Amino acid sequence: MSAAPVSPFIYLASQSPRRSQLLDQLGVAHQILVADAAEDAESLEMALKNEAPLAYVKRVTALKLEASVARMQRRGLPEAPILCADTTVAKGRVIYGKPENEADAVRMLTALSGSTHRVLTAVSVASGKKRLQAVSVSQVTFAKMTKAQIMRYVATGEPMGKAGSYAVQGGAAAFIAHISGSYSGIMGLPMFETAQLLRQIGMHN
């Protein structure tokens, strides 16, 4: 019995231009598969009471993946593997998600200033009935930031929509004293783990 043909592309279930760019860097052809307006995508990111950051990011990514599979089928799209990722920032057991507004971004950055936190990015892949997942955990150390520095950074608008209220590849880099782990994972898609998952479904050499 011959093996099923490998799809020439994957679906990326993310609106993040950074994740798309990182897939391009890996040479993986992909199409964007984002949520319908009717889908309550935000509710998938709600943390459970006392949920540990690692359990949270794994659960949310798995939920996003299943929602994406249902979306592909509902739209009658050609079958292809789906890749989904979720990034969270954590200090101890405290999860720092996307800021609700500028004041929330200031709160988060103030808490992260002058200390080390973790960035956890889970990647999930669906290929037919197969489900695969990997998690990248990195550590980021911020130098002490003044209130004025935090306010100026928040005023750029960059923190909005970002876990922990910052983008490692953006203006926040001026305050990052040390990184341990995966730079691409901190950006939102750990390339090593992603390539491994895609290799397991025959999509990457």
Residues annotated as part of the active site:
86
Contact 53, 93 (CB under 8 A): yes
CA dihedral angle for residue 8, residue 11, residue 17, residue 22, rounded to 10 degrees: -50
Extended strands (E) in the chain:
10-12, 30-32, 82-91, 94-96, 116-127, 130-142, 176-180
In single-letter form, the type of residue at position 64 comes to: K
CB atoms within 10 A of CB 197: 20
Tokens describing residue 82: 């789906």
Task: Give backbone dihedrals phi and psi of 90, rounded to 5 degrees, phi first.
Answer: -140, 140
Q: How far apart are CA 131 and CA 175, in angstroms?
A: 38
Contact 193, 135 (CB under 8 A): yes
For residue 165, what is the DSSP state?
Answer: G
Contact between 164 and 98 under an 8 Å Cβ cutoff? The reply is no
